[in-house]
Structure 1
Amino acid sequence: MNVLVINPGNTSTKVAYWEDEKEVWREEISYDVETLKRFPSILDQMEMRLQNIKGLLQVHQVEKIDCVMGRGGLFKPLEGGTYRVNDKMVADIKSGNMRAEHISNIGALLALEIAREYNAEAFIVDPVSVDEFDEVARISGIPELEREALQHTLNIKRTARKACEQINKEFNKANYLVAHLGSGISICPIRGGRIVD
């Protein structure tokens, strides 16, 4: 299976091409702050990023894609997992029916546009809005203010899965504390494969 992976970030778009379980190539397109300031909204960056991705596909002479995976955004609270990009998801993104404006929101749109050109399927995996919190984790100390689950789910869960592979442990039976330290920070306990706080 030939898979294209698209991860839009605040100042970059990371793109990788896989054949089965082998990474064939990986590229990072960086954007300076002045370039990004020209766009009134994140959705307005869509065409620029899409053309950049298409340029990479030409450079690498990609002829076949079976599946395009995009970074998932700030949707309604969801369970961790893989979701097919569908009309409802696209409508929510384009109408702004999201929990917040965030660059990850266009991951599904980018995946869908590329998938259409290659007659492929488009998916997102472990979006930012995955909510697997224990009820006690929602307590903020202010009765009127409940804590919400928003974290770097994709990286947090991938890191835990990779650690499980290295020590030959089942992901759904493992407990970890994982830190994502990028331009944003998430520190999450994982119990039995779920981000519980």
Structure 2
Amino acid sequence: MKILIINPGSTSTKISVFDETKELFGKSVVHDSGILKQYTRTIDQLEYRKDLILAALKEAGFEMADFDAIGSRGGLVRHIPSGTYRINEQVIEDLKNCVNGEHASNLGPVLAKELGDPAGIPAYFTDPVVVDEMQEVARYSGFCGMERESFFHALNHKSVGRKAAARLGRSYEELNLIIIHLGGRCVCRCT
């Protein structure tokens, strides 16, 4: 089973092709900040990034018909539990309308669906930054009427946490870990 993976970030778009768990191809396309500034909204970068993905795949000898599924970094959809979700029209609408904010990750599911639909390829996203598995006590902010919300790089945190757990010979769920994500804009969140 060949899977195309798409991970749009604020400064680059990373793509990979996997055959089951074996990576066959990977590329990080770094975007010129001058080009990105030409777009009023992040979602307006859709065609620009889609063209770059298709060009990189073609250069590597792949075409969309080669893929059985497309996986994407999730965007700022509505708060949901951790997991993998099939991309549907409600997800696309929420991302285009920035229901939980505007970020480059909003492009991921939209790109996946736009690339997959014409070829009949199912598209999914996993663990978006709005994963909400907070305990109720963690929602208290200290200000009456103001709750804390869950926003963090869940996909990266859980991946790193699972790798650490495997190295320790323990399950991810039984550990308390401090994981720090440093992205293109060096926003840090500890969980």
**TM class by shorter-chain length?**
over 0.9
Matched residue, 2:188: 185
CA–CA distance in structure 2, aligned partners of residues 164 and 2 of structure 1 = 28
Unaligned runs of 5+ in 1: 189-197
Structure 1's 173 and 28: CA in aligned 2 closer, same or farther, altered over 3 A? same
Alignment root-mean-square deviation, CA = 1.3
By how many angstroms is 1:134 displaced? Answer: 0.8
CA–CA distance in structure 1, aligned partners of residues 98 and 25 of structure 2 = 34
Q: Please identify runs of 4+ aligned residues in structure 1 that moved more than 6 A.
A: none
Matched residue, 2:83: 81
CA–CA distance in structure 2, aligned partners of residues 142 and 170 of structure 1 = 36
Higher-strand-fraction structure: 1
Q: Secondary structure at the match of 1:17?
A: strand
Q: Which one-letter code corresponds to 1:127 in the other structure?
A: P
Matched residue, 2:173: 172
Matched residue, 1:16: 16
Q: Secondary structure at the match of 2:166?
A: helix
Q: Does 1:120 align with 2:115?
A: no
Matched residue, 1:41: 41
Q: After the TM superposition, which residues 121-140 of structure 1 pair with which residues of structure 2 at under 5 Å, given as runs?
A: 121-140=122-141
Q: Which one-letter code corresponds to 1:87 in the other structure?
A: E
By how many angstroms is 1:97 displaced? Answer: 4.9
Contact 2:12 2:28 in 1 (8 A): yes
Unaligned runs of 5+ in 2: none
Matched residue, 1:155: 156
Matched residue, 1:192: none
Q: Secondary structure at the match of 2:180?
A: strand
* Selected match of 2:92 from 75, 90, 94: 90
How high is the TM-score relative to the length of structure 2? 0.93
Aligned length: 187
Contact 1:138 1:147 in 2 (8 A): yes
By how many angstroms is 1:5 displaced? Answer: 0.8
CA–CA distance in structure 2, aligned partners of residues 2 and 166 of structure 1 = 28
Q: Once the two structures are aligned, what percentage of the paired residues are identical?
A: 37
How high is the TM-score relative to the length of structure 1? 0.90
CA–CA distance in structure 2, aligned partners of residues 116 and 59 of structure 1 = 22
Q: Which one-letter code corresponds to 1:71 in the other structure?
A: R
Contact 1:66 1:118 in 2 (8 A): no
CA–CA distance in structure 2, aligned partners of residues 24 and 40 of structure 1 = 35
